[in-house]
Amino acid sequence: MRKPFLLAAFAGALLTLPTLALADEPATTKNGMLVDAQGMTLYAYDKDSAGKSACNGQCAANWPPLAAAAGAKGDGAWTVIKRDDGSAQWAYAGKPLYTFVQDKQAGDITGDGKMGVWHIAKP
């Protein structure tokens, strides 16, 4: 009696594995730019150095870092960097990625060119 239940549970778990793997993707490409899982535009900051964020404190409040889950691993151009506060952030081609608080809906690009140092992240 328990065997069919266990087999069904195991089969269900196997079917969900591809979905779980996709959920760990840091971002996707839409209209030639990188966007987060909600479709919000991702930005790069010219003052960052390769693998190191220079955006902390109030800067990070206005430009929230694209957080990486604990244990997330990079792949190819995608890397995970450690921020000054100890949290993990996704980077693409060495550049840490951020959203912008003034972008209100997917596809907004109000942060592009801000202060001459913020730019839409592109693959």
Q: Residues 18-40: pLDDT tens digits?
A: 322 233 568 999 999 999 999 99
Q: Is residue 108 a part of any domain in this protein?
A: yes
pLDDT band at residue 2 using 50, 70 and 90 as cut-offs: very low
Q: How far apart are CA 53 and CA 49, in angstroms?
A: 7
Q: Is residue 53 a part of any domain in this protein?
A: yes
Q: Is residue 57 a part of any domain in this protein?
A: yes
Structural domain count of the chain:
1
| Residue 111: pLDDT over 60 | yes
Q: Is residue 11 a part of any domain in this protein?
A: no
First to last CA, the chain: 52
Q: Is residue 7 a part of any domain in this protein?
A: no
pLDDT at site 26: 83
Which domain, by its residues, includes 78?
26-120
The pLDDT tens digits for 88-99 are: 999 999 999 999
pTM here is 0.79
